[in-house]
Structure 1
């Protein structure tokens, strides 16, 4: 699932973005909330030698939850890999400040015909791949065709009818039908533009090589130890990046990551748990920043096999789970509880649903009894054993569902085994997460359409399919909001997933790090604007 492919990739280090290693595009929401980290400053600040303007140079060491799985942008499904790749590659567009705001990246202009079927893209002249070759319209065509032919996100571009190269820096994309989310897919960090010759030289396999034009170039990758990058001097944004070197270190242990930051062993931790936010807020020389996130966690129920092919039992789970208690015990009260819709409250497609909030304590039991099954009903819950907070959530859920009539057995699985079973639909119940992006289509189609790529629950509802199809049309925002609100209501009522909570996204860094911006999806694209001052004078 980004599937916690979770991220939503669905949220553990390495899940297919969606589900995947997600826990977790470059839009910085206006709702960024700075979290203080220490006592109030004195009325007059003491003198400081810290520079106030960006300074080029230096090496930044970033701690991540997990190592990348592979480096091919068109084949990646996990968040850990995405955070590496988005520093190596560029896209045609990129996300701006808000849901639905886009900016140019490799493209300098985008014109859309009146019938919204023809997209004309003008490319940035002078943009270079790391090989020194020029980014051309032919390279863009090659990249899009590669995604369509073999990429895991081929469905993003299934509306493309033809790609025509007009000249070396201009091409047109003709669609078979208008598509509201199409621009968001052009900006998706994993729909990157690759160097055709580099792909050919690698025999089509980019899992451990670099064919990008992003701000940094790959130097070395020692699996489970570090990924080292160096500055791309031919990057198409003048003056960027500031850093000479960028090092990603996977530190899977939560306490070890926090300790490494406090001691200065690393400069930046991309994802900080709610517990460690409280610890690091009191640490000297450390800044912590949180924003409302897009990574949500849920109980997945297999609708295609007993016992959860019965919607009454799925709803019994939805009513029987105490989200507030889960939030306190697992997330230290820092998550946003979900009682119906799963699209964030600050998103224009959010549906304010409270189906399972104001409930009668007997509702879950009533639905269980109505299903006519024997009590206790044995159910196996699978979980990625490497994601401690999801294991803890599973333990709490097991206890909460016992009074309802379920006898839950928790089976922790190694990550690759877990995702294999999830992908094959070989489960009854699971706890996992998913990372959303910009357009509501990215929160819904793959998960809840009967033909969705990550619909591991086997959920099928013709009315939901019809709504999600209409939601892809280029209607005005108000009309699309109504469509997605109704789709969320139907999905919540049938409960193929029991939505639990949205996580805040928190990062922390040493005070010598400047210019970094926390993004709701934990993207690391902001590293292009990040600079460091502890190398000055050395």
Structure 2
């Protein structure tokens, strides 16, 4: 399949990214080489961590397993495309309902050859009533998985999905060997990746060792990789400064300048999909009036929020969740700006001279959420809108406030495809439809675009859907955040993916020591 570029546009829109990547881009021209050890200071580790792909979360375990010990059928490359990995190729039928994956002839670290049975067992680990997998919902669309000989796997879906290869690239769906009973023995930590798992002390340390027989000759350059759990961002940054680690993820925007001044250190920054919605319940007054929603959207100063909350390390949002790095991002939609007069116009259209609303917030929603709410309060005041900033306890925010209060602050890490993000949060009846928005035209397009293999037609449909979110939807989306990682000059890399931090969690496979 031919997929269009989805990451360079967003990447180049970020001035800080070009500055941060300049020195390493020059070093990358010399090309990668084998050898050396890498130490990564990583957030998200916990003593409850396991290497069970059904239950692991976005911490050091994922970076170790997805990018090191295992492979997927499909990977997201640096351009944001779904590229064959353990699959040699993948093809849909005319309706995008039946997908056929032809497998490479590669070996697991225990010497066994990859077969269709391994792929089926790995996916079935996330299916069925008894699974504990966080990705179970992604596979509800799969009606059947079957082998066509040892080297071909066929996925039959309940309906067409042109983005199914992106689903196959999800970090849960790493391939492990069938234990002979149709199940995977995940405790053994066996994969087809470039490294073997040598040590795992949950919440503390993971150590990997390079395989000499890795099937990708141009990947997995380090001899040894150590991932250290350092959850506190200040401690993580100090570990990089003092030389305890070579790479860290998740540099906070407010401390980026401190690393930027340090000799021998540099930032790796790309435009990401993370964004900060202010959802309004469209079935609750006054937000059930589209003119009230538009008044609030025009009353927010997006540029001020980007400058002060993210310190410029992001891009402006346009009240839809599709980031500049997504391949169907509607870049030509007019960017909404702070316009108090336009906000007053929409209030008048709603029959109002002024408006009083209460905005629930907490820094549990995202770092800087309370500051963002106060900025909104100030900018909205210039349009005759009084925003009461209702600070909620951090403890229980996501269970007691989100989805319950009619106007609250939220956070989404984004998803790799438009359909994924829209289906999860904006579709009528979706469990996490945080604005309770229902637009018949949007839902009609959502179903049609999902099965459309003509990318030109899909682009047109997703363009219209983004416009519907912007002009009718119930979420204010003022900004997208960059992924910001840090490293020392011992480490080099090529083009960096923007689908997650640490090069799409592929840092241990794609980067190298200089």
3-state SS of 2:148 partner: strand
What are the superposed Cα offsets for residues 73-108 of structure 1, whole Å, 9 maximum, x if unpaired? 344565776444423431101123434x33221111
TM-score (norm 2): 0.82
Runs of 5+ consecutive residues of structure 2 not aligned to the other structure: none
Q: Report the CA distance between 1:254 and its aligned residue.
A: 3.4
3-state SS of 2:460 partner: helix
Runs of 5+ consecutive residues of structure 1 not aligned to the other structure: 1-25, 534-538
Would you say 1:226 and 2:205 are equivalent positions?
A: yes
Q: Distance in 2 between matches of 1:439 and 1:459?
A: 20
Q: Report the CA distance between 1:492 and its aligned residue.
A: 1.7
- Within the candidate set 472, 482, 485, 2:460 is matched to 482
TM-align CA RMSD: 3.9
Query: Is the 1:380–1:411 contact (alpha carbons within 8 Å) kept by the matching residues of 2?
Result: yes
Counterpart of 1:146 in structure 2 is: 125
| Aligned structure 1 segments of 4 or more residues deviating by more than 6 angstroms | 37-41, 198-202, 371-375
Alignment of 1:123-522 (within 5 A): 123-128=103-108, 130=109, 132-149=111-128, 150=131, 151-197=133-179, 210=189, 212-233=191-212, 235-238=214-217, 240-303=219-282, 305=284, 308-345=287-324, 347-351=326-330, 352-354=332-334, 356-357=336-337, 359-361=339-341, 363=343, 367=347, 370=350, 376-384=356-364, 387-401=366-380, 404-414=385-395, 417-421=396-400, 425-515=403-493, 517-520=495-498, 521-522=500-501
What are the superposed Cα offsets for residues 448-503 of structure 1, whole Å, 9 maximum, x if unpaired? 11243532333322221111111102242221111111111112223322111122
- Please say which of residues 439-448 and 252-261 is displaced more in the overlay: 252-261
CA distance 1:213–1:270, change in 2 (3 Å)? same
CA distance 1:531–1:345, change in 2 (3 Å)? closer
What are the superposed Cα offsets for residues 239-284 of structure 1, whole Å, 9 maximum, x if unpaired? 6422233222343443333332222121012333334433323211
- Within the candidate set 68, 71, 75, 1:90 is matched to 71
3-state SS of 1:191 partner: coil
Would you say 1:64 and 2:42 are equivalent positions?
A: yes
What are the superposed Cα offsets for residues 160-203 of structure 1, whole Å, 9 maximum, x if unpaired? 3332212222222233443211122222333322334399999x
Q: Report the CA distance between 1:122 and its aligned residue.
A: 1.9
Query: Is the 1:215–1:231 contact (alpha carbons within 8 Å) kept by the matching residues of 2?
Result: yes
Query: Is the 2:7–2:326 contact (alpha carbons within 8 Å) kept by the matching residues of 1?
Result: no
Would you say 1:109 and 2:101 are equivalent positions?
A: no
Counterpart of 1:526 in structure 2 is: 507
Query: Is the 2:357–2:386 contact (alpha carbons within 8 Å) kept by the matching residues of 1?
Result: yes
Q: Report the CA distance between 1:358 and its aligned residue.
A: 6.2
| Aligned residue pairs, count | 493
What are the superposed Cα offsets for residues 23-77 of structure 1, whole Å, 9 maximum, x if unpaired? xxx9874875664469999xxx9xx9x9956443433111234326754434456
TM-score (norm 1): 0.78
CA distance 1:232–1:432, change in 2 (3 Å)? farther
CA distance 1:400–1:28, change in 2 (3 Å)? closer
CA distance 1:198–1:502, change in 2 (3 Å)? farther
Q: Distance in 2 between matches of 1:366 and 1:31?
A: 31
